[in-house]
Structure 1
Amino acid sequence: MKQRLFIVISFVFLGILCIHLIVGRKKIVTANDVQRPIAIPASRSNSNEFSTQNETMKTAHSKTTTDHTTTQVQTTNTSEPNPICIAKQNNIVFLKVHKCGSSTVANILQRYTYNNALNALLPDKDPTEQSYWVLNRLKEQYMSQIIPIPEGESYNTMFVHSVHDHDIFKRLFPNNSYYVAILRDPVERFISYTFYYQLVAKMKEDYPQSEDNPYIFSKALLKKPFPYGVLGPSYDLGFLPRGKVNKTEVDRFIDNIDKDYDFVMIMEYFDESLVYLRHQLCWDIKDILYIKRNVNFEKRGYALSQKDRQMIKAIQPVDVPLYDYFYKQFWNILKRQHVSFFEEVYNFKKILSGVADYCNFGRKLKPEVLFAKTQWHDAFSVTSEDCSKMKWSEGHAITILAKKAREKYKNSKMKN
């Protein structure tokens, strides 16, 4: 009897031991458990002056403020490599910021508006008028500045140069509109701006130096104040300084932009920004294809010392903290992405290379190029007509879209 009891107890003990070993076995490592193969940059500021208290970037379509609620599409989660989309977002407000790659984004929106017969907010100007494609700052009598749309409809998209105005934009666009802007490193943007608007030639004329000196900005930057007007992103986003700029005023401005805009793209990570934007808008991969716009090949033959860089930052007391804040926000977004996101970005870059090759050379030989299906998108083709649209100049695109908008409005009046 004792021997049987011992055998039973032994079997029970062995059973418990096996269960313990099975349950407590080593966890299988998944992609989510492995640190992302990306070097997350350190803070771009040595102080906590403009750091966000909330390290979690709000999900664009779950954001709610007192006058802006969006409930469209999906959220991005690191545990879901391919989030499910409900419907395409057709209401997009893009604030076109000078010299930040905004012309390329604008072209994407121009094509989307044209292909989907959407209502764009366009300046009501004669095509012979100078800068007829620019809207500038909207006034209180803003309806006289824009091309009207049929009664009962709303404006869907905006992609022309304007100045952000919270109240007017909220009146013009539906409540579920997705607000997007783009920023660029303030030093690089400053250089691009001065070359594009031919301020460099003026500097060389005002501050002569030896021809072999590449530090062409140094002398002008030493002048107090800086003698050349350079409008920054803060101007486009509606910042109106009243006297000397102070930290409280800057913080309040940045906070308001953060509340108004669902996503702020970073030019240095343009393709990553576009792929993330595609997910938020539930767009197809073809919707975000592009060929680079307004590349300035004259921007060469210069150098910046470390002192020059610091002085350039010093004359941008609003634009530097603005960029720093949204740069950190952008990286908070990237850190939450599944590894599949970065694989998709790599695939997107390869597609862009194929599109550039076809549009610049291949379309002379065949009417279209095919791109195979992947885990991120269905098979699609790019035609010669698609290439032509990707190469639209801003003025040409606005002329085409304005003509369609006027015809649509005129026809609606005739029906009534």
Structure 2
Amino acid sequence: MDKRSVQVGGHMFSNQKLFNRTMVENSPLSLEGDRTYDMLTNHVRYYRPEMELVVPNAKYFTVLRDPVRQFESSFGYFGWEEKMEGSSDPLGTFTENLSTHFEQADLPYWWQMKNGQIYDLGLDHSYHDNETAVTQKITEIERELDFVLITEYFDESLVILKQILCWELHYMLYIPNGIRSQKYVYKIKDRSRANIIKWNKADMMLYRHFNRTLWQRIESYGSNFEYDLNEFRRQRQIVTNQCLDGTMSPVRGTPRWSRVNLKRGAPSICYELWKGDATYTKILRERQNKGGIKTDINGRQIKY
């Protein structure tokens, strides 16, 4: 097992183990009375029974990406290309021997190499070539999750999510975070694409199914969808103009990805949107460990 498969005190619970309540700091097993958490947003493999013990009566969402693009992203981000040193087409060479690379299990995050998305949603690799098992898993996901977002239609997905949560559009605003450096972006040739699609058949089935459900949701949203989508993008453009200076900088210690730079003197909301999941996890954990005060809907101060 890669030593990075489990993180203690980080923003990921585990990359390989299904979620278990004991992974959570101060889980319900150690909390007083019937206290539980309100949200679970960290990286984790989906396992509904244990999640419900930590965040009961929750709505469940996930996001999927085109498996071909996801594979290329993993190839560049996890450093798999280092094994193809000297090749003029590292991604193409790598995809000619996918089963060998997977079976050797000697690359960082090797388990993401085959159907990484349905794996994260709880289906072990031993079932990935069983079309019946994959179909059953997709049916289970559709039954259990309230909505599946699609990366390639992220703004459209967020408008639907806004409706489900009964939120306002400005609650959905975001700034791109963690953009891969161009040095580690690889051209996907036709043969490589074909090899990736064949190898990641389960993820392709998963993605195509929920891509269809997204457009069904859009159709049932009503006549206001285009208006809301355009208004959301208008608000996003305002945030971009207010917050970003148009340049990017490499992330210290992580040359494979970069971050957008904020304008000097940008409004405070820009800094909140700019913070990543690891930063927010650290902030919330510090508050949890030190204790703090917040006000409930009735104006009473409560400790958290």
CA distance in structure 2 between the partners assigned to 1:138 and 1:209 by the alignment: 36
Q: Give the structure 1 partner of residue 137 of structure 2.
A: 253
Structure 2 residue 241 is the aligned partner of structure 1 residue 357: yes
| Residue number in structure 2 paired with 1:133 | 11
Correspondence for 1:269: 153
Specify the alignment match of 1:405 in structure 2: 288
* C-alpha distance 263-243 of structure 1, shift in aligned 2 (>3 A): closer
Report Cα offsets for 1:269-314 as digits up to 9, x if no partner. 1011111101110112221111011111225663222222111111
Distance 1:240 1:301, change over 3 A: closer
* 2:38 matched residue in structure 1: 156
Matched, 1:220 2:94: yes
Equivalence map 1:262-411=2 (5 Å): 262-298=146-182, 302-361=186-245, 364=264, 384-408=267-291
> CA 1:174–1:243 in structure 2 vs 1: closer, same or farther (change >3 Å)?
closer
Contact 2:19 2:47 in 1 (8 A): no
Larger Rg: 1
| CA deviation string 1:73-130 (max 9, x = no partner) | xxxxxxxxxxxxxxxxxxxxxxxxxxxxxxxxxxxxxxxxxxxxxxxxxx9944xxxx
Q: Distance in 1 between matches of 2:39 and 2:49?
A: 17
How many residues align structurally?
259
> Given the superposition, is the C-alpha separation of residues 406 and 336 from structure 1 closer, same or farther in structure 2, using an over 3 Å criterion?
same
Q: Secondary structure at the match of 1:238?
A: coil
**TM-aligned CA deviation for residue 338 of structure 1:** 2.5
Provide the aligned C-alpha RMSD in A: 2.7
Query: Which residue does 2:25 correspond to in 1?
Result: 146
User: What is the rounded CA distance, in whole Å, between the counterparts of 2:100 and 2:223 in structure 1?
Assistant: 45
* Greater relative CO, 1 or 2 (CA 8 Å, sep 6+): 1
Distance 1:124 1:147 in 2: 16
Query: Higher helix fraction: Structure 1 or Structure 2?
Result: 2
| Structure 1 partner of 2:52 | 170
**Relative to structure 1, is the Cα distance of residues 385 and 195 closer, same or farther in structure 2, using a 3 angstrom cutoff?**
same
Which one-letter code corresponds to 2:76 in the other structure?
Answer: F
| Percent identity (aligned) | 25
> Are the counterparts in 2 of residues 150 and 409 from structure 1 also a CA contact under 8 Å?
no
| CA positional deviation for 1:166 | 1.8
Distance 1:224 1:265, change over 3 A: closer
SS at match of 1:161: coil
Q: Which runs of 5+ in 2 are unaligned?
A: 1-5, 103-109, 246-261, 295-302
Does the 8 Å contact 1:187/1:312 carry over to 2? yes
Task: Confirm or deny: 8 A CA contact 2:127 2:134 kept in the other structure.
Answer: no
The structure with the largest strand share of the pair is 2
CA contact (8 A) 2:170 2:232 kept: no
User: Who is 2:255 aligned against?
Assistant: none
Q: Distance in 2 between matches of 1:164 and 1:144?
A: 13
- Give how far 1:152 is off: 3.4
Q: Name structure 1 gaps, 5 residues minimum.
A: 1-122, 127-131, 368-383
Pair 408,329 (structure 1): closer, same or farther in 2 beyond 3 Å: same
Once residues 404 and 190 of structure 1 are traced to their aligned partners in structure 2, the CA distance between those partners, rounded to angstroms, is 37
Instruction: Indicate the SS of the match to 2:22.
Output: helix
Q: Distance in 2 between matches of 1:348 and 1:390?
A: 15
Relative to structure 1, is the Cα distance of residues 347 and 145 closer, same or farther in structure 2, using a 3 angstrom cutoff? closer
Distance 2:23 2:186 in 1: 45
